[in-house]
Structures are given as C-alpha cells and as structure tokens.
Amino acid sequence: MSKVSIAVLASGRGTNFEALVHATRRPDTNGEVRLLVANIPDAPVLKRAEQEHVPAAIIPHRQFKTRAEFERALIAELNHHNINLVCLAGFMRILSPVFVAAFENHIMNVHPSLLPSFAGLQGMQVHEAVMAAGVKVTGCTVHFVNTDVDAGPIIVQRAIAVRDVDTPESLALRVLVEEHLAYAEAVKLFCTGRLRVQGRRVRVAGNEGTTGA
C-alpha cells in the first residue's frame, strides 16, 4: 500500500503540524506529511517545517483580490504535489464550498472543544467560553471539513476534566496535548483506510460493536 500524501495548512505556531510530522513517521501510519502551506509569510510554523525538512509553500492570501483566486492557487499547489489528505492546523481562513468540493471528505480539522459545543470560536476564545460556562468536561475534536464552520462529520474526540484550579491558559495547554494525540489517531485511521463517511457519521472499520473510535 502506497503512503498517503499529506499537506498541512497552517497560519501560526505549528505545534499540531510538528506533531503530525512526528506521528506520520511511525511505520504503521502509512502516511507522510509532504507539504506545508502557510498563508502568512512570517508564520512561525515555517521554521518548524525547515527544522523537520518538510517542503513549504507560502501563498499569502492578502496578495489575491478574491478568496476564489487564493483558493485556486491553493488547489493548484496541492494538486502539483499529488496531495491525498489536507490537514488544517491553525489555518485562519474559512474555506469555500469550491475548495471543500475539490477535496471532499479529504480535509481534516482539529477544534479545541467537544463539538458541537463551542463551535465557531477560535483559540483562547474556546477555553474562556468553557470556563465561563462552568462545564466539567472539555477536550478536542478532529472532524472532516464541510461547508459549515466546525460542523463536519466527527472522526475522533478526546475528553479531559476541567479542574477547579484551571485557567483558560492552563486548560489550553492540556487540551493541546489531546489535540496532538487525537489528530495523529484520525490521520492514521484515514491513511490505513479505516474511515467511512455515512451522512453525518464517520464509521471506523474494525470498531463494530465497540463504544467509540
């Protein structure tokens, strides 16, 4: 079985990018991160790509007059590298239906909450909202991307308890650990051909009769 060719789209620090690179280098994953695409020319993730020896492309969205032009350039770059799976890792752009259709059920995102709760929020906003709501359990979700924000079919979720001593900052750090693990699991399931999307649900081959992915 040939390895699945993966591209990561990122705009910021790139901790999830780095975690995915390390995870896919394990022999049982059957995938390889072959490209990083950043839309911010000085994004710190570019340094991580250099350190990990992953080819990087910079496609600054501000250089395009329209989102459609930007996405056409993005799609062309991904097709040039024969990308099979697109992983969003702090990519601060809403993708249009045209882009989603070009890679239908082949785009993943990780969100720092247990979706559908706290959808539509970004970064620290999520953890601040979690603390303000007084919920006892939070976590992260890896999902396929569709045309609705944070609403695609859920692949993997990991949960942690919200501690009385937590702050939004401490919670963000603990959830990030779970993001790295959840994303690696979801990508491995995809790359080993175990995921099937059926409507709103993602079925995991080999998990029939179990209670989770």
pLDDT at site 208: 60
152: CB partners within 8 A, 6+ apart: 109, 143, 144, 145, 146
| Half-sphere exposure (Cβ direction) of 87: Cα atoms closer than 13 Å | 35
Residues 50-90 pLDDT 10s: 999 999 999 999 999 999 999 999 999 999 999 999 999 99
Record the tokens describing residue 112, joined without a space.
């720092």
| DSSP 8-state code for residue 154 | E
pLDDT at site 198: 94
pLDDT at site 2: 86
Does residue 174 have a pLDDT over 60?
Answer: yes
Between 1 and 121, residue with greater pLDDT: 121
The answer to whether residues 86 and 63 touch, using CB atoms and an 8 Å cutoff, is no
pLDDT at site 1: 63
- Tell me the catalytic residues: 111
Local confidence band at 173 (pLDDT 50, 70, 90 cut-offs): very high
Angstrom distances, CA of residue 122 to CA of 93, 97, 142, 150 = 11, 21, 15, 10
Local confidence band at 211 (pLDDT 50, 70, 90 cut-offs): very low
Does residue 190 have a pLDDT over 60?
Answer: yes
pLDDT at site 51: 97
Local confidence band at 206 (pLDDT 50, 70, 90 cut-offs): confident
Does residue 91 have a pLDDT over 70?
Answer: yes
Average pLDDT over residues 103-128: 96
Burial 80-105 (b: 16+ CB within 10 A, else e): eeebbbbbbbbbeeebeeebbebbeb
Q: What is the mean pLDDT of the chain?
A: 94
Does residue 180 have a pLDDT over 50?
Answer: yes
Does residue 105 have a pLDDT over 60?
Answer: yes
SS3 183: helix
Residues 25-55 pLDDT 10s: 999 999 999 999 999 999 999 999 999 999 9
The answer to whether residues 202 and 195 touch, using CB atoms and an 8 Å cutoff, is yes
Local confidence band at 164 (pLDDT 50, 70, 90 cut-offs): very high
